């Protein structure tokens, strides 16, 4: 995979016509963004409403936007694609990417509430048993994405992923891929992206990790409370665009 840079935006939709917004996003905005130099792919997801994972701490900082109903992801060969000609990241997206937007584009973007953006760089990746189902660089029909700070335990985090989470997910039925990412811009130093062939495959197989790897899962239960997650992280989501066949 050549997409080592991801631009991820978590957000809710405010007042207005949701269907009109999605029609604009999928039919106009995303295709025009993909026409820009260096953009390789895009995917838009809706939060599947999976209950919060227990034993997770979440930031209570009111300055961190808490949107999570929808997740928009663009992929590029490098995170630099998203910041070339950078002027400001304060609005939730590099201002260069606002160039050429119409009044209608700005109206639709203004419907976002609680938008939080990160530009992420791939640290490590591994394919799962369903890796062969991927269509080009398109992200899978179901994802689980978490973003968090390690608060002084970065070495243990690196070991946790490298020593057992990557090996376990790479053998887990239904898994397309696992990626560990670090933030080049935006809140949260770390992120992880799990991809699954379907929402149902994730629901069936991911809970089996505790029984398959009891010692490692005990490590998980001791370690993950040390992390400080973004609001509502991790989020499980189903792909809206491109439509799942």
Distance (Å, whole) CA 245 – CA 138: 13
Range of the domain at 118: 5-241
Given this model, what pLDDT does residue 2 score? 87
> Which has the higher per-residue pLDDT, 160 or 101?
160
pLDDT tens track for 175-231: 999 999 999 999 999 999 999 999 999 999 999 999 999 999 899 989 999 999 999
Question: What's the DSSP call for residue 243?
Answer: P
Q: How many CB atoms lie within 10 A of CB 46?
A: 15
pLDDT tens track for 43-90: 999 999 998 887 899 999 999 999 999 999 999 999 999 887 665 555
**How many separate domains does the chain show?**
1
Could you please report the per-residue DSSP string of 27-92? Answer: IIIHHHHHTSTTEEEEEEEEE--PPPPTT-EE---TTS----SEEEEEEESSGGGGTTT----TTS
> Which has the higher per-residue pLDDT, 95 or 206?
206
pLDDT over 50 at 94, yes or no: no
Given this model, what pLDDT does residue 67 score? 96
Q: 19: domain CATH number?
A: 3.30.70.100
| CA nearest to 186, candidates 68, 64, 96 | 64
Given this model, what pLDDT does residue 87 score? 57
What sign does the dihedral 97-102-106-109 (CA atoms) show?
negative
Q: Are 121 and 182 in contact (CB under 8 A)?
A: yes
What's the predicted TM-score (pTM) here? 0.94
pLDDT tens track for 97-149: 777 788 999 899 999 999 999 999 999 999 999 999 999 999 999 999 999 99
Q: How many CB atoms lie within 10 A of CB 20?
A: 11
Given this model, what pLDDT does residue 1 score? 54
Q: Are 11 and 112 in contact (CB under 8 A)?
A: yes
**Least confident piece of the model among 15-19, 22-26, 220-224:** 15-19
Both structure tokens of 47: 């939060």
Distance (Å, whole) CA 47 – CA 238: 7
Distance (Å, whole) CA 135 – CA 37: 21
């Amino acid at each position: 995979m050549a997409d080592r840079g991801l631009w991820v935006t978590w957000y809710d939709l405010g007042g207005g016509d949701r269907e009109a917004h999605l029609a604009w996003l999928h039919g106009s905005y995303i295709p025009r963004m993909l026409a820009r130099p260096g953009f390789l792919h895009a995917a838009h997801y809706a939060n599947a409403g999976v209950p919060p994972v227990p034993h997770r701490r979440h930031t209570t900082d009111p300055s961190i936007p808490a949107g999570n109903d929808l997740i928009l992801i663009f992929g590029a060969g490098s995170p630099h694609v998203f910041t070339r000609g950078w002027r400001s990241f304060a609005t939730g997206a590099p201002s260069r990417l606002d160039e050429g937007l119409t009044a209608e584009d700005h109206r639709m973007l203004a419907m976002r509430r609680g938008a939080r953006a990160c530009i992420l760089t791939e640290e490590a990746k591994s394919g799962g048993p369903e890796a062969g189902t991927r269509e080009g660089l398109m992200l899978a029909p179901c994802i689980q994405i978490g973003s968090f700070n390690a608060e002084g335990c970065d070495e243990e985090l690196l070991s946790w992923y490298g020593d057992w989470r990557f090996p376990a997910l790479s053998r887990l039925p239904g898994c397309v891929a696992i990626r560990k990412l670090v933030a080049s811009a935006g809140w949260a130093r770390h992120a992880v992206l799990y991809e699954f062939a379907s929402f149902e495959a994730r629901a069936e197989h991911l809970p089996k990790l505790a029984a398959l790897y009891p010692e490692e899962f005990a490590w998980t239960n001791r370690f993950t409370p040390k992390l400080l997650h973004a609001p509502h992280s991790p989020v499980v989501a189903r792909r809206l665009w491109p439509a799942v066949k």
